[in-house]
A and B are shown apart, each in its own frame.
Chain A
């Protein structure tokens, strides 16, 4: 203790408790085991986090095996922090404070060891292993599989017996606020956990999402927050030797938190299909919660008045102080994020990831670390290395600060790009440096936790006798204690009868407010949603096939919903980019809902018809093959050697992805007519009536679309434009067409039809513009409407610079007549009499037959296509039907059609 820097200490006098009566036993062994388990699991969880973060910048890192893919490690990261780190730290804290707050022992030492083994060896460890093996739930903060949930619920019941039961004997006049939070938090969580984990499995889609939202926030707000706040309220007075500023204010904070916090949940689904009344309620509750946190933090900081020196000199208090400040910042940030104008911009982005790290590290972890440091520094016989703790504090602070600033900035960049018309992949490219910085920020964090553990394992053992400082109380406090404290040595204070037993009220807070939130944000919205579904759903809905249903399970197992939402919100930018907003009826068979709360890749709820199956397989096998700058992990273990050999998992997963949005397409719902949440007006002015996003291929008859802008012709493009065009090409086209534009990209082998060799064809300006603008329906070629105009201009120029020049073909009349005869007999039905690709069969074919008037194959290309056909299209191989001489005749015949405006072609 730094006496020299603390003038308050000079005024204090030794406090001598009245007598040395026996105190209830504290289970220090259990505290040690839970404390070390907390530190071991936080290191493992942080390692999961580092690996997950690394995969953003190096997506092939640790790839190739199912257990180490991004989604599974991501599940283990958050569940490890929740159960392993914070859960163990909270339990250790409860063992320390329960005897001190109740004046009695915890219920049973044997039960304590049972709880330890269940928590760590029936929940945390098997949870991690099972997730890696592919057994999980795609529900946020509920990712461990249901078999683990059984043991979690059992553990919470044991916690009630172990920790809550001793509080039942405490009169209200003696029940300190930390006890209120412990009782309320444990009771509430025991009820909320099964609801949050099981109900979304039983209640489909939007209705289930309402319950998921409850648990997402209850996990943080009614388990982590109460226990962490209990820690702050205990450690601050214990270190400063002064009572907290106001126990009354702490009571107000307690009641407001338990009343208001459970009502926040739906703010994770603002602008969704969940009824607007529930959304508004959650937003208002979020604002109210911000006021509550201001009240709580003000009380806590005022409790440090006159003790600022100890914040610097006492590491435990420094951790707690940091946690309190972070609690204020993150709570006000959370309240602000719920407001619709802000939510629409930053939701789904890395801003929210920064927010959650500020909550779980800045607030919860710093507070838990402070409490453990305080316990260790006072635990008889414990080693405690204050220097290591001090370094740990600074490493964690630096890492967290860097991470939060970095992710907040990344979220702002993403939000800005998502409301623009830029291609989605541009937002991924833009965040590369931010994600890399996040990896760097994670290193001091994991080092900080390691040092913290070292701080609990090394250093001098605690002294046997107390120093005068550690046994000192503030003079005024001691005087008041002498005057006022009567219990447990004297008569208890008289209390208003209704508040005679505070634990009863805390119990009611845990139970009553749980029921309130369950009804207000779960039951009532579900009833409204069911009425809406009955009113708006098509009379018949095609359920998922067995294959698609299995694919859905794989989608959940691999954590796809943690990067791809299945929820188009009712805001303009979402609708323009992805299509019609997600209606409640679309999700009525989704057990559990897979809406997601994060977008790294694009929303997939309108994926039906967007990409061909072969593109999906190539993308799933190696995402960089089709999208060169993608950071999606490859799922090569779902294939038997190549993208063209998917196993049943890949087949089913692609079948499911292909089904997304099918119901909406079949129902003919293309506009915003389903949206009746009051937010539709936000879209009405700018949302096109067609509801077709820019990313969807369009069928352009005869390869020409009048609406496609003609990009500048490459008569003489300057070198700068060609260089820029090459850059655009490499970032967007090379995966399929190859870096040399020879059609040998890494995805090429899996695509049907294959991407073409751009050196072997010549396109008219109008046709090239149409292909870039509309894509090629029935092939993997997507539309590139979202690219900037100068990007499209320059990539068009670059492609034209590669093309074989248009050949001016002349044929002898006899050859022409012979070729025309062959063409008429074999080619007209698809390509049309005039080569426009408008034959009688053309309308049914995808991709559409080539229009030779706007696209001229080179002699080499024509020879190959005529002999071998085009796999994945309707073009057959003619080598077994036509003689080589006949094929040779056809080549100049189709070539001479290019650019020819005459209906009948004569030389």
Chain B
């Protein structure tokens, strides 16, 4: 059972790696949230700083 699980995990990781290497659109899509997160954090911080404590 554990061998099957390990094999499945390895295959999934390999599949995503291949996708990441050969699909630039996937690469761009999958990295997108890290920029969105930063932008949102800055929006909130800006809004907080405008707010009267």
The residues of A with any CB-CB pair to B shorter than 8 Å are 15, 17, 20-23, 26, 99-101, 103, 173-178, 234, 237-238, 241-244, 246-248, 251-252, 255-256, 259-260, 263, 277, 280-281, 284-285, 288, 378-382, 461-466, 470-471, 473, 477, 480-481, 484-485, 487, 493-496, 516, 520, 524
- List 7 interface pairs A-B (beta carbons < 8 Å), by A numbering: A99-B44, A238-B38, A244-B34, A380-B49, A464-B52, A464-B53, A494-B29
| A473 contact set on B, CB distance < 8 A | 38, 42
Bound: A744/B40 CA distance, A: 76
* Known interface pairs A238-B41, A520-B5, A524-B1; A248-B20 also in contact (CB < 8 Å): yes
Bound: A237/B45 CA distance, A: 13
Query: Can you name 11 extra interface pairs (CB under 8 A) apart from A20-B46, A520-B1?
Result: A15-B42, A176-B37, A177-B33, A244-B34, A246-B31, A248-B16, A252-B13, A277-B2, A461-B53, A470-B45, A481-B38
Query: Are the CB atoms of A243 and B51 closer together than 8 Å?
Result: no
* Known interface pairs A176-B36, A481-B38, A481-B39; A263-B5 also in contact (CB < 8 Å): yes
Bound: A400/B32 CA distance, A: 38
Partner of B48, one of A174, A285, A378: A378
| B35 contact set on A, CB distance < 8 A | 243, 477, 480-481, 484-485
Judge whether B47 is part of the interface by a CB distance below 8 angstroms. yes
Partner of A462, one of B9, B13, B26, B53: B53
| A242 contact set on B, CB distance < 8 A | 38
Query: Are the CB atoms of B53 and A381 closer together than 8 Å?
Result: yes
| A99 contact set on B, CB distance < 8 A | 44
* Known interface pairs A173-B32, A465-B49, A466-B46; A100-B37 also in contact (CB < 8 Å): yes
Query: Are the CB atoms of A26 and B44 closer together than 8 Å?
Result: yes
Query: Are the CB atoms of B32 and A484 closer together than 8 Å?
Result: yes
| A246 contact set on B, CB distance < 8 A | 31
Query: Are the CB atoms of A288 and B38 closer together than 8 Å?
Result: no
Judge whether B6 is part of the interface by a CB distance below 8 angstroms. yes
A477 nearest CB neighbor, chain B only: B38
Query: Are the CB atoms of A247 and B33 closer together than 8 Å?
Result: yes
B52 CB to closest chain A CB (Å) equals 7
Most central of B16, B26, B41 by chain A CB within 10 Å: B41
| B12 contact set on A, CB distance < 8 A | 255, 259
| A17 contact set on B, CB distance < 8 A | 39, 42-43, 46
B16 nearest CB neighbor, chain A only: A252
Bound: A285/B1 CA distance, A: 12
Bound: A555/B42 CA distance, A: 55
Judge whether B18 is part of the interface by a CB distance below 8 angstroms. no
* Known interface pairs A20-B50, A256-B13, A473-B42; A284-B6 also in contact (CB < 8 Å): yes
A193 CB to closest chain B CB (Å) equals 23
| A462 contact set on B, CB distance < 8 A | 53
A99 nearest CB neighbor, chain B only: B44
Query: Are the CB atoms of B47 and A20 closer together than 8 Å?
Result: yes
Bound: A166/B7 CA distance, A: 35
Query: Are the CB atoms of A495 and B42 closer together than 8 Å?
Result: no
| A493 contact set on B, CB distance < 8 A | 28-29, 32
The number of chain B residues with a CB under 8 A from chain A is: 38
A630 CB to closest chain B CB (Å) equals 42
Bound: A477/B39 CA distance, A: 10
Bound: A521/B27 CA distance, A: 35
A377 CB to closest chain B CB (Å) equals 11
Query: Are the CB atoms of A101 and B34 closer together than 8 Å?
Result: no
Query: Are the CB atoms of A100 and B44 closer together than 8 Å?
Result: yes
A282 nearest CB neighbor, chain B only: B2
B26 CB to closest chain A CB (Å) equals 7
Query: Are the CB atoms of A243 and B46 closer together than 8 Å?
Result: no
Partner of A101, one of B40, B43, B46: B40
Query: Are the CB atoms of A237 and B32 closer together than 8 Å?
Result: no
* Known interface pairs A26-B44, A464-B53; A248-B30 also in contact (CB < 8 Å): yes
Query: Are the CB atoms of A100 and B1 closer together than 8 Å?
Result: no
| A176 contact set on B, CB distance < 8 A | 33-34, 36-37
B25 nearest CB neighbor, chain A only: A494
Query: Are the CB atoms of A380 and B53 closer together than 8 Å?
Result: yes
| B36 contact set on A, CB distance < 8 A | 173-174, 176, 485, 487
Bound: A280/B20 CA distance, A: 32
B30 CB to closest chain A CB (Å) equals 5
Query: Are the CB atoms of A495 and B29 closer together than 8 Å?
Result: yes
| B25 contact set on A, CB distance < 8 A | 494
Query: Are the CB atoms of A247 and B32 closer together than 8 Å?
Result: yes
Bound: A496/B15 CA distance, A: 14
Partner of A174, one of B6, B32, B41, B51: B32
Query: Are the CB atoms of A173 and B29 closer together than 8 Å?
Result: yes
| A101 contact set on B, CB distance < 8 A | 37, 40
* Known interface pairs A380-B51, A524-B1; A237-B38 also in contact (CB < 8 Å): yes
| B13 contact set on A, CB distance < 8 A | 252, 255-256
B23 nearest CB neighbor, chain A only: A496
A23 nearest CB neighbor, chain B only: B47
Partner of A277, one of B1, B45, B49: B1
Query: Are the CB atoms of A520 and B2 closer together than 8 Å?
Result: yes
Query: Are the CB atoms of B40 and A471 closer together than 8 Å?
Result: no
